Amino acid sequence: MGVYKSAASPLYGRSGMLPEFGTDTVHVPGTPDWRCIADGARWPCEAGRQRLTEQHADRPADLLTLMKASAERACIDLGADEPAAREAIHRHMVDWVPT
């Protein structure tokens, strides 16, 4: 997937969707606000977490990697420069991942 650069990066497909979360529109993050495009909740929403867990049932380490990378991107998109703000984003996006 390459390195995150900016909102103009080719990582961003149509409608600000991130291709690594699949091509359907069920509980995936919209950018740059990182809210679920299905229900508007902070992503990952409850249904999004369940979906991600099912998708990565046989490779939980990949899910952890994906969510850490996503949290880094969200920090940039959301302008979270302060350590506390970054930590809050990481907690929300990474801490739920089953290990």
Residues that bind Zn ion (CB under 5 A): 27, 36, 38-39, 45, 47-48
Residue 47 or 78 having the CB closest to Zn ion: 47
Which tokens is 7 given? 């909102």
Answer for the pair 28, 15: CB distance below 8 angstroms, yes or no: no
Q: Name residue 49's amino acid.
A: R
- How many whole angstroms separate alpha carbon 84 and alpha carbon 41? 21
Q: Which is nearer to Zn ion, 9 or 46 (CB)?
A: 46
Smallest separation (angstroms) from Zn ion to the CB of 73: 18
Report how far residue 69's alpha carbon sits from residue 3's, in angstroms, rounded to the nearest whole number.
10
As measured in angstroms, the least distance from the Cβ of 8 to Zn ion is 26
Q: Give least dist CB 25 to Zn ion, A.
A: 10
Query: Nearer to Zn ion by C-beta: 51 or 90?
Result: 51
- C-beta closer to Zn ion: residue 35 or 68: 35
Cα–Cα distances in angstroms (integers) from residue 97 to residues 2, 41, 60, 94, in the given order: 23, 18, 8, 6
